[in-house]
Structure 1
Amino acid sequence: MSQQSQFALMTQRRFAPFFWTQFLGAFNDNVFKTALLTILTFDALSWTTLDVGLLNQLIPGLFILPFVLFSATSGQFADKFEKAGLARKVKLLEIAIMSMAAFGWMTHNLWVLIAAVAGMGIHSTLFGPVKYAYLPQHLKTDELVGGNGLIEMGTFVGILIGEILGAMLVVHQPWGVQLVAFGAIAIAVLGYLASLKIPVSPAPEPELNINWNPVSETIRNISFSKQNRPVFLSLLGNSWFWFYGAIVLAQFPLYAKNYLHGDHSVFVLLLTVFSFGIGAGSLLCEKLSGHKVEIGLVPFGAIGLSLFGLDLYFSSVSYTNTLAVGALDFVRQTGSLRILADIVLLGIFGGLYIVPLFALIQTRCDPKHLSRTIAGMNILNALFMVVASLAASAMLLKGFTIPQIFMATAILNAIVVVYIFSLVPEFLMRFIAWLLIHTVYKVRTVNADSLPSEGAGVMVCNHVSYMDAIVIVACSPRPIRFVMDHRIFKIPFLSWVFRTAKAIPIAPAKEDPWLMEKAYVDIAQALHEGELVCIFPEGKLTATGELNEFKGGVMKILERTPVPVYPMALRGLWGSFFSRDKTNPFERAFRRGPFSKLELVVGDVMLPTEVTPEVLQKEVKTLRGDWR
């Protein structure tokens, strides 16, 4: 696999123009919206006699409404039309909307500005499916996590800078309105110029007939996504993140004012540290995932969202300052650094949660349906954000304080994620595997890019310890169906792990002929469905560290389903606590110390006609070498 830093993508045409197009779009959205909300808050009488509180609710709602109404159609556009050309048309639309907004700014016409808010919502709705469907077309599988991390980082940084700049520019005297009006047009033009460099991205389904009915198309998209359970639950997990984030972020203005006794600069500080956290977490994903789609990070992120959401409650109620403070004075107050740490860690774990979910959707979804799936997700996101607003309002009406809202949301997050991960145990199993190789072992892969990104195959490996399957899972970007001795399959705790991974227990014919035959039927079914199957041809753990004789089971598998074979070798597990080395296990563990080095070496793919047990044993022994 490619081990170059994700930042190398910023120098390449297949990614950088698209990144800047997306960044400038998010930036411009927030310059415009924040400037409008700010001017209505501080200079309302110059613009309208309407209730300002009502307008502050109406404007964000109008921006979200197009996601509900037009996402289904925009998803079809992104699947039917070439994406680079579509991105340029969306950027031209942005220039037209910002030109209309400039007219509204210069004439003090509030309704023209409100129409422009809805227009920018349409702009974002059209670009959303393009954004996430573009990446799998131009990035390798091992670059997707890094690419998504950069996009998420850029989006939140663009939002943050846009909010700060919009609030600062519009109150600048005497040219604030003009700076916003023409600055937004300039940003839109820069976005269009960046889009001109986006490489051609062919449409996955150019013959698609557009269904203009948003209701029936939305239902059809969600129904289609339900057929792929991990993808559908990832969509729900993604929308849940926006529910969580919408509740927390919506409380920041009053939280900064009423609980921290801060001015506007304290609110900006909270947004800044949260956005920094999201960006840092998004970028960390590539490092922690080892350049692959590591969904084990999702439970890790979810745990952090609950833990630091709870601690934000405790740090808030222990904050004692009652004097009005600016950002610098706030930082000097007792307890302020703990509050800021909680918020930045919420952002970091939020990034660790959301980026792998996007990558999973992109790699597991039918490529011809990816844009429409993303569009369906955008609709769910919008609906979840509306429900979040209603939930926060209901809690406030019930007398909840804002710190109590943080606590309630963190507890609700724990309940929801436990439910989702119980439905798709693969998330939790991958988390356990990821945790294992980042605490007990330090695993290096050799030639792992030989493993197929899609399609059926049989993986063959030496059998050294009870941890072999978990180590292999942690190194593979794809789910694997393991064939293992029924006695190992029944080991307490590990049995639960193997069941969640849909391992296939097998027994010798003399012990349980029915179970042996069922195993071969299950293997054939898994290969027929395009899955990877891993077997340990020795049939038992090594008692000496050397390879046992390879049995003929692999030949029975290939006779039924001739598929490619991928020889592999584990190195460094012999002598570990989980191997059958007869020396004192605690002494061995102490001698090896934490972060024991392991390697998983993958050989070149073999055709089924080239395979015999003897050939495979020789190949695996060569791959393992002298390091047991």
Structure 2
Amino acid sequence: MKQDESLMTSRRFVPMFFTQFFGALNDNVFKQALLLVITYGWIQQQSAPVSTLNNLAALLFILPYFFFSATAGQIADKYERAQLVRGIKILEIIIMLIGSAGFLLGHLWLLLLALFLMGTHSTFFGPIKYAILPEILKPNELMSGNALFQSGTSMAILFGMILGGAVIASSEGNLLWISLTVVAIACIGYVFSRFILPQKVAAPDLDIDWNFIRTSFQTITYAKSLPLVFTILLGNSWYWFYGATYLTQIPQLTQQNLHASENVVSLLLTFFSVGIGVGSLLCRKIGGSEINIKMVPIGAIGLTVFALYLAASLAFVPERTGALLTLKDIFTQGWVYYHVMIAVTLLGISGGFYIVPLYAMMQAYSPRSHRARVVAANNILNAVFMVSSAIFSILILSVLKIDIKILFIITAVLSAIFSIWLLARLKPMLATAHLSLED
């Protein structure tokens, strides 16, 4: 862990780490606060059911990844990235001021506009933050840097959901406090961005194509022209399909299968997020600092085995009626509930093992002049896979009326099949591949 500790005191790494940490934190504080004020009716202009508005909010946040990822990748390759980050962070402050106005005026559509703009902010920031890592880190630091990024992002998501919920719960309807919170976090992120070191411009002569449809297809086509890189992107996107499938079902799993309260939802999300953070940090410690695929098979096995473990644990949960189990009850009702919590945590750890090497390899094997555009292609594919996950889950649970345990089993089997294909394809490619970090 010495290398991780040295990075966390490095002038090269720390500003970028905390800039992205506070960005992810703010995304989740704002999203969680918005979902809660919609759910509890604190916004009076609702003209649609709560479930519709919540799903609309989720869609609005992910839509910019389809529309703007390719353009964001071009911009990140053409211009100096430290300056771009600072500009994006200033825009985040403006967006949060718009969101604050929505909270204070009780204007739902202003809040949804701010959410869409936050998704746009994240879309433009994503290619920069992953393309900048190989520039500020040495090749033997890239695994550690990605491990810390993934761990930090997991913690930011968790803390953001907790903080957003806590501020709303304690404000008793006074939305001034959540408004001040999101603006303050945006300002802190901007302060850290001021310390990011200037970077060499990757492709200063690039002509940006503002037609996002054409650019998106060109970006994906370019990624497909690099068989190793494109295979890595597919492996990365499968992780997001898998994670979205499980995370989306945790509220339903908690209420219908565990017969437990919303506090238990937060508990399971906490175990999952902490698991990803722990797995990300252990990945570098166990797998070493060299960029390699060693931990991906271990993570892939875990994603299958522990999904089956979770499904089996749920099968032994006794049926209940009456009051929902509280946070305290869940620890006193028998070992089967501990098995569920352990399974969720191990799924998170396995996810950390799986995704950190894939992110490092994506950066290491992408041509320097196109690195941000490769990250943009990854973001487009991630969005496609996450939407596919939602359609897949709706088909299994709502159309076919199949039990959630069967959904988990099907996903586990699909994960095993995909992982076998992924590893069989990657290993011979990696044997002859050339790192592009020095290109």
Please indicate the TM-score interval, normalised by the length of the shorter structure. Answer: over 0.9
- Correspondence list, 1:458-469, <5 A: none
Equivalent residue, structure 2, for 1:576: none
- Correspondence list, 1:58-97, <5 A: 58-97=56-95
Relative to structure 1, is the Cα distance of residues 176 and 259 closer, same or farther in structure 2, using a 3 angstrom cutoff? farther
TM-aligned CA deviation for residue 329 of structure 1? 1.4
8 Å CA contact 1:76–1:371 kept in 2: the answer is yes
Q: Name the structure where helix makes up a greater proportion of residues.
A: 2
TM-score of the superposed pair, with normalisation by structure 2: 0.95
8 Å CA contact 1:243–1:381 kept in 2: the answer is yes
Equivalent residue, structure 1, for 2:327: 327
Equivalent residue, structure 2, for 1:219: 217
TM-aligned CA deviation for residue 419 of structure 1? 2.0
TM-aligned CA deviation for residue 420 of structure 1? 2.2
Q: Write the distance in 2 (CA, Å) between the matches of 1:272 and 1:173.
A: 23
Moved more, 113-122 or 49-58: 49-58
Equivalent residue, structure 1, for 2:400: 398
8 Å CA contact 1:221–1:373 kept in 2: the answer is yes
Gaps of 5+ in 2: none
- Correspondence list, 1:18-33, <5 A: 18-33=16-31
Equivalent residue, structure 1, for 2:358: 357
Equivalent residue, structure 2, for 1:588: none
8 Å CA contact 1:169–1:176 kept in 2: the answer is no
SS at match of 1:5: helix
Q: Structure 2 residue aligned with 1:236, among 234, 237, 241?
A: 234
Moved more, 192-201 or 161-170: 161-170
Q: Write the distance in 2 (CA, Å) between the matches of 1:174 and 1:221.
A: 47
TM-aligned CA deviation for residue 4 of structure 1? 3.5
Q: Name the structure where strand makes up a greater proportion of residues.
A: 1
- Correspondence list, 1:116-515, <5 A: 116-174=114-172, 176-320=174-318, 322=320, 324-334=324-334, 335-396=336-397, 397-426=399-428, 479=431
Rg larger for? 1
8 Å CA contact 1:44–1:52 kept in 2: the answer is no
| Root-mean-square deviation over aligned CA pairs | 1.6
The answer to which structure, 1 or 2, has the higher relative contact order (CA under 8 A, 6+ apart) is 2
SS at match of 1:11: coil
TM-aligned CA deviation for residue 328 of structure 1? 2.2
| 1:9 partner letter | L
Equivalent residue, structure 2, for 1:100: 98
8 Å CA contact 1:72–1:217 kept in 2: the answer is yes
TM-aligned CA deviation for residue 45 of structure 1? 6.4
Q: Write the distance in 2 (CA, Å) between the matches of 1:174 and 1:398.
A: 41
Q: Write the distance in 2 (CA, Å) between the matches of 1:162 and 1:49.
A: 28
Relative to structure 1, is the Cα distance of residues 399 and 411 closer, same or farther in structure 2, using a 3 angstrom cutoff? same
Q: How big is each residue's C-alpha offset from its partner over 1:323-346, in whole Å with a ceiling of 9 and x where there is no partner?
A: 621122102222111111111110
| 2:49 partner letter | D
Q: How big is each residue's C-alpha offset from its partner over 1:405-434, in whole Å with a ceiling of 9 and x where there is no partner?
A: 11111111111112222333348xxxxxxx
8 Å CA contact 1:79–1:371 kept in 2: the answer is yes
TM-aligned CA deviation for residue 176 of structure 1? 4.0
Q: Write the distance in 2 (CA, Å) between the matches of 1:339 and 1:102.
A: 38
| 2:341 partner letter | L
Relative to structure 1, is the Cα distance of residues 37 and 191 closer, same or farther in structure 2, using a 3 angstrom cutoff? same
Relative to structure 1, is the Cα distance of residues 530 and 162 closer, same or farther in structure 2, using a 3 angstrom cutoff? closer
Q: Write the distance in 1 (CA, Å) between the matches of 2:69 and 2:165.
A: 29
Relative to structure 1, is the Cα distance of residues 231 and 45 closer, same or farther in structure 2, using a 3 angstrom cutoff? closer
Q: Write the distance in 1 (CA, Å) between the matches of 2:426 and 2:434.
A: 19
Q: Write the distance in 2 (CA, Å) between the matches of 1:401 and 1:178.
A: 42
Q: Write the distance in 1 (CA, Å) between the matches of 2:78 and 2:208.
A: 8
| 1:383 partner letter | V
User: Percent identity between the aligned chains?
Assistant: 42
Relative to structure 1, is the Cα distance of residues 56 and 134 closer, same or farther in structure 2, using a 3 angstrom cutoff? same
SS at match of 1:424: helix
Q: Write the distance in 2 (CA, Å) between the matches of 1:374 and 1:277.
A: 25
Q: How big is each residue's C-alpha offset from its partner over 1:310-359, in whole Å with a ceiling of 9 and x where there is no partner?
A: 11100011112626211221022221111111111100110110000011
Q: How big is each residue's C-alpha offset from its partner over 1:277-301, in whole Å with a ceiling of 9 and x where there is no partner?
A: 0000110111112211121211211
Q: Write the distance in 2 (CA, Å) between the matches of 1:205 and 1:358.
A: 22
TM-aligned CA deviation for residue 530 of structure 1? 6.8
TM-score of the superposed pair, with normalisation by structure 1: 0.67
Q: Write the distance in 2 (CA, Å) between the matches of 1:344 and 1:36.
A: 27
Q: How big is each residue's C-alpha offset from its partner over 1:214-243, in whole Å with a ceiling of 9 and x where there is no partner?
A: 222222222222222221100001001000
Q: Write the distance in 2 (CA, Å) between the matches of 1:118 and 1:45.
A: 18
Q: Write the distance in 2 (CA, Å) between the matches of 1:264 and 1:168.
A: 14
TM-aligned CA deviation for residue 126 of structure 1? 0.5
Q: Write the distance in 2 (CA, Å) between the matches of 1:43 and 1:83.
A: 41
Equivalent residue, structure 2, for 1:585: none
Moved more, 365-374 or 200-209: 200-209
8 Å CA contact 1:263–1:327 kept in 2: the answer is yes
Q: Write the distance in 2 (CA, Å) between the matches of 1:47 and 1:23.
A: 33
The total of aligned residue pairs comes to 431
